[in-house]
Amino acid sequence: MPPASRDDLRRLHFIDALFAHVTGHDLYLANQIKGAIAFSLTELEVQLAEDPASAANYDAAFNAAAAELLAKLFSGLPRHGFFHWDASLTLASATPLFTRAEIMAGLKKLAPFRESTLLVTNLRPALIPPSRRATPRRQRDYEEALAFIRDLAAARTVRGTNLQLLFL
């Protein structure tokens, strides 16, 4: 069996953290989930083998597939709320005004639940595009956006509610 690449290990630990409530932090089970997601992306794996520069496309597709699987999992749990916001949907969606509107919409949807998960994806690529340099200003904007979302979620969530805030 060939040794796992750095990206494979990163994806494995990502899946283990994302699905910890299912796997119980068992890496064998997390590897099974990772394998199922990778199987659904076999066409992209072929492209990755032909062109290693397309790794960013594979990572984005892998994250999207994992988020979709997580949404399906939580839709089967009637007492657990789930909201997913993809920050890269539009060019302006990661700006503070649109971020606030999206997070508030998600928190309103999650309000009736005692346990819920708010998943934020692609915030970093939206604020620090991979094709551009990570300047100190872009880094600061990203850190401020993370802090803003955390503070907004803390301020607008009812005490006693268990909200899991995940950033991918």
pLDDT of residue 61: 82
Section 127-147 average pLDDT: 89
Q: Which residue from 87, 88, 112, 117 is spatially nearest to 102, judged by alpha carbons?
A: 87
Tell me what pLDDT residue 52 has.
Answer: 67
Query: Does the pLDDT of residue 24 top 50, yes or no?
Result: yes
Selected residue with higher pLDDT from 135 and 50: 135
pLDDT in tens, 68-124: 888 888 877 788 889 998 888 876 667 888 889 999 999 999 999 999 989 898 888
Q: What is the pLDDT of residue 132?
A: 82
Percent of the chain with pLDDT over 90: 26
Mean model confidence pLDDT for the chain: 85
Query: Per-domain residue ranges for the chain?
Result: 1-76, 78-168
Residue 63 and residue 125 in contact, taking contact as beta carbons nearer than 8 Å: no
Predicted confidence at residue 1, as pLDDT, reads 47
Triad 26, 31, 35: Cα angle to 5°: 155
**Helical segments of 5-135, H only:** 6-18, 20-23, 27-40, 42-50, 55-75, 96-110, 123-127
The DSSP result for 36-70, as a single string, is HHHHHTHHHHHHHHH-GGGHHHHHHHHHHHHHHHH
